[in-house]
Structure 1
Amino acid sequence: MPQQINYCNGCGAKVIKNRLTMRNLFEDFTYNYLNYDNKFLRTFLNLFTKPEAVITSYIDGTRKKYVNVISYFAIALTLSRFANVCHE
């Protein structure tokens, strides 16, 4: 009977057993970015309602609460590009 390994012995990363398909990518995207209690939505809403709180807490070291700055920037650029293409 093969042993079920959930994490890499070398680096500790989670072992992903699903094949890379469009369905799996879509499910991962919806779970990470469209979930009710997700970091992206919280970051997006708080940046528009109280940006000083987001910036201050990030500088003070509270980073698990919000999306990584580089990731947020990349997502924002991608979404703005899609909006621009759809508008043309």
Structure 2
Amino acid sequence: MADKQDLTAGFTGTPVEQPEGLARAARSAASGVKREVYAVTAGARDHPHTTSALLLGIGLVAFGFGYLLGRSPAESSTRSYSR
């Protein structure tokens, strides 16, 4: 059996080798996303009225766009043929 020193030897909570390639890119991208999310939430906390106005505006534009997309196929498929 291994004694207690062998089981904990070398474990510091961080990897011995630094990540390379895809792992490094993923870690860098994740930290960048975290910074940007924090910046957006801090801005939203500082300016609540602007945030709600932007969200309402985006919602109205999305609703209008969806309404227009939903109406256009209905109008083109209801052709009437008279003889």
If the length of structure 2 is used for normalisation, what is the TM-score?
0.35
If the length of structure 1 is used for normalisation, what is the TM-score?
0.33
More relative contact order, 1 or 2 (CA 8 Å, 6+ apart):
1
